[in-house]
């Protein structure tokens, strides 16, 4: 599918499931954490919260199952399981093609719900870091997706207004965040990129 991106100055990419196919690895790490803390594991439900930082997902787990888990402890354990996975996913062709095509032509950012350490490891490991003008992680904002803060900060760091940017995402949460930020959104759906205007 041909996307006309000529009206945008900035491209903002989510990372997990958008640039790098890390979702299977994240789900595997969540499954290990669930076993460790004796949490019921609902793969589809956890997947639906892609883009949300691990401590926030733990709060959702507490709400859903009436548990009282410490978000920081669970998140650290889940991140340790994730860090132990050496093959954390391939590059997603559709979005990486765009990333490479507009290299040097448009300003490019990553806006991710991952913690800084994990995001940098993945972006470096896949040689994406040199292609980016800025990276906004869960550590940089207080309100995470579906709040617009991640994408608004990315635009600000690129020196652009919201309407000059387009967001690439793979989750409903991410799409909501993009639209809340006043930006058009292009979703990764299977092998396709689908345009969801504001």
CATH number, domain of 14, equals 3.40.50.1000
Residue-level pLDDT at 115: 87
Question: Between helices 54-65 and 71-84, what is the axis angle to 10°?
Answer: 120
**Domain span holding position 40:** 23-84
Residue 41: closest CA among 53, 28, 50, 54: 28
Q: Does 16 participate in catalysis according to the annotation?
A: no
| Alpha helices, H only, the chain | 23-37, 43-48, 54-65, 71-84, 93-101, 116-125, 149-158, 172-180
The CA-to-CA distance between both ends of the chain, in Å, stands at 20
Q: Residue 2: what pLDDT?
A: 67
Active-site hit among 14, 149, 170, 184 = 14
Give the span between the Cα atoms of 80 and 67, in whole angstroms.
22
Give the pLDDT of residue 39. 95
Residue 1 within a domain: no
pLDDT digits (tens, 9 = 90+) for 65-106: 999 999 999 999 998 998 888 777 899 999 999 999 999 999
Residue 177 lies in a domain: yes
- What residues in the chain have per-residue pLDDT under 70? 1-2
């Amino acid at each position: 599918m041909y996307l006309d991106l000529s009206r945008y100055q900035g491209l903002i990419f989510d990372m997990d499931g958008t640039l790098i196919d890390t979702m299977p690895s994240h789900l595997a790490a969540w499954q290990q954490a669930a076993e460790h803390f004796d949490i019921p594991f609902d793969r589809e439900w956890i997947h639906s919260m892609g883009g949300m930082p691990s401590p926030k997902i733990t709060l959702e787990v507490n709400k859903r199952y009436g548990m009282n888990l410490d978000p920081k402890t669970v998140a650290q354990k889940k991140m340790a399981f994730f860090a132990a996975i050496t093959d954390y996913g391939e590059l997603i062709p559709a979005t990486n093609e765009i990333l490479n095509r507009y290299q040097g032509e448009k300003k490019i950012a990553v806006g991710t719900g991952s913690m800084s350490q994990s995001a940098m490891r993945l972006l470096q490991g896949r040689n994406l870091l040199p292609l980016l003008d800025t990276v906004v992680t869960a550590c940089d904002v207080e309100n995470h997706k579906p709040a617009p803060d991640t994408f608004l900060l990315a635009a600000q760091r690129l020196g652009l207004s919201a309407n000059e940017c387009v967001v690439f995402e793979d989750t409903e949460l991410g799409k909501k965040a993009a639209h809340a930020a006043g930006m058009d959104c292009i979703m990764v759906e299977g092998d396709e990129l689908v345009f969801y205007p504001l």
